[in-house]
């Protein structure tokens, strides 16, 4: 394990040999998070403007110098690379970042090519390790209300990582469903649904898993919960497909899972992607290409991270100017 461990999946914290390092200033935390996650050096002027947008450049740069000095004292001289114009993390720094580890494990699974969308035992081990690292949304509970650009970056990074988690969960659901291992599949499906309680394909998948596991009452309750949420949040009933599945389970006409049907890849992810429409490019940054999109269910604008790869709106949306707005 590296000498320094930086945790950003959940509430931010920094540890040295498993002892907490107190980062008392929030902008010190923000600066370190931005440098660690973007994995590239940034100009002093950019960082100063990002973190002190309301100050003149001289005052902002002075604040940046102070906080960089604090970081160097806490982390050691060899963790940060700082010169007259650029600031970045030393690529050889002995620093472990949970976000980077999460993405590396997902990349390991992604490098395997399998037919029919299936995963192998090695892929599954990497996916489980990645999911286990996801202890909460990116920088949970952290915000800089006076720094809209940082706040917006944090929002899009949060949504990007949530989508990576959703994809990993769906692949794990498929792995366990193929083996008729219903309890772990249900646990992963519930976690997937928690990312977006209005996502009907996730509700349907969970209903199917309950039915296959012989938990018919739970399957019927899941439909009722889906109907309640859709009515309260959107004022709409469940899709016909969801209702038809409910009726099949209620009347005990839902077919049992067989070896052949288990081998069919889940169709939930394409449905998820089709829900969001990409409209136009807003920005290109360290967190990827950000597009303005629209949720075809709610009609609300939202951010997208690549053409056809949308982010689910939770508490935020994006206006035509690309700025994050609280709903």
Instruction: Dump the DSSP string for 149-199.
Output: HHHHHHHHHHHHHHHHHHHHHHHHHHHHHHTT-HHHHHHHHHHHHHH-TT-
CA distance 91 to 89: 6
Same-domain pairing of 290 and 310: yes
Same-domain pairing of 259 and 279: no
Taking the mean position of all CA atoms in its chain, how far away is CA 210?
Answer: 26
Same-domain pairing of 264 and 289: no
Same-domain pairing of 128 and 267: yes
Same-domain pairing of 65 and 9: yes
Tens of pLDDT along the chain (327 residues) come to: 678 899 999 999 999 888 888 887 899 999 999 999 999 999 999 999 999 999 999 999 999 999 999 888 888 778 888 888 899 998 888 889 999 999 999 999 888 666 555 678 888 999 999 999 999 999 999 999 999 999 999 999 999 999 999 999 999 999 999 999 999 999 999 999 999 999 999 999 999 999 999 999 999 999 999 999 999 999 999 999 999 999 999 999 888 876 555 544 444 444 344 445 666 555 544 434 555 565 554 454 554 444 444 444 333 333 333 333 333
Domain end point (choices 235, 250, 271): 271
Read off the tokens for 259: 């070896």
CA distance 28 to 183: 43
CA distance 250 to 102: 40
Same-domain pairing of 298 and 263: no
Count the domains in the chain.
Answer: 3
Same-domain pairing of 78 and 137: no
Residue 82: strand, helix, or coil: strand
DSSP string across 250-262: HTT-SPPP-HHHH
| pTM exceeding 0.85 | no
Residue 216: strand, helix, or coil: helix
Same-domain pairing of 46 and 34: yes
* Structural domain harbouring 37: 4-98
CA distance 327 to 297: 17
Give me the CATH number covering residue 57. Answer: 1.10.10.10
DSSP string across 98-159: HHHHHHHHHHHHHTS--GGG---HHHHHHHHHHHHH--SSBTTT---TT-HHHHHHHHHHHH
Give me the CATH number covering residue 167. Answer: 1.25.40.10
User: By C-alpha distance, which of 100, 155, 175, 171 is closest to 316?
Assistant: 155
Same-domain pairing of 148 and 206: yes
Same-domain pairing of 126 and 258: yes
Bridge pairing between strands 42-43 and 316-318: unpaired
């Amino acid at each position: 394990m590296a000498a320094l461990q930086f945790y950003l999946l959940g509430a931010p914290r920094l540890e040295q040999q498993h002892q907490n390092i107190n980062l008392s200033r929030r902008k010190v935390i923000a600066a370190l998070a931005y440098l660690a996650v973007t994995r590239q050096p940034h100009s002093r002027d950019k960082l100063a403007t990002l973190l002190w947008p309301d100050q003149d450049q001289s005052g902002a740069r002075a604040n940046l110098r102070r906080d960089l000095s604090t970081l160097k004292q806490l982390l050691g001289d060899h963790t940060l690379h700082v010169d007259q114009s650029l600031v970045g993390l030393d690529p050889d720094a002995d620093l472990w970042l949970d976000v980077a580890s999460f993405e590396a494990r997902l990349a390991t699974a992604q490098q395997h090519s399998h037919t029919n969308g299936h995963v192998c035992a090695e892929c599954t081990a990497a996916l489980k390790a990645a999911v286990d690292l996801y202890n909460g949304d990116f920088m949970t509970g952290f915000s800089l209300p006076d720094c809209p650009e940082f706040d917006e970056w944090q929002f899009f990074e949060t949504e990007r990582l949530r989508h990576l988690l959703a994809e990993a969960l769906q692949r794990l659901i498929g792995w366990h469903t193929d083996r008729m291992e219903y309890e772990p599949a249900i646990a992963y499906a519930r976690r997937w649904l928690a990312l977006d309680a209005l996502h009907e394909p996730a509700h349907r998948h969970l209903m199917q898993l309950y039915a296959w596991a012989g938990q018919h009452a739970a399957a019927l309750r899941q439909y009722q919960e889906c109907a309640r949420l859709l009515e309260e949040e959107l004022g709409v009933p469940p899709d016909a497909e969801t209702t038809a599945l409910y009726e099949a389970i209620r009347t005990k006409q839902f077919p049992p899972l067989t070896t052949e049907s288990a081998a069919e890849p889940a169709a939930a992810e394409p449905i998820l992607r089709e829900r969001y429409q990409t409209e136009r490019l807003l920005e290109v940054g360290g967190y990827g290409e950000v597009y303005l999109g629209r949720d075809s269910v709610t009609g609300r604008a939202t951010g997208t991270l690549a053409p056809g790869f949308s982010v689910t709106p939770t508490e935020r949306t994006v206006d035509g100017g690309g700025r994050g707005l609280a709903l």
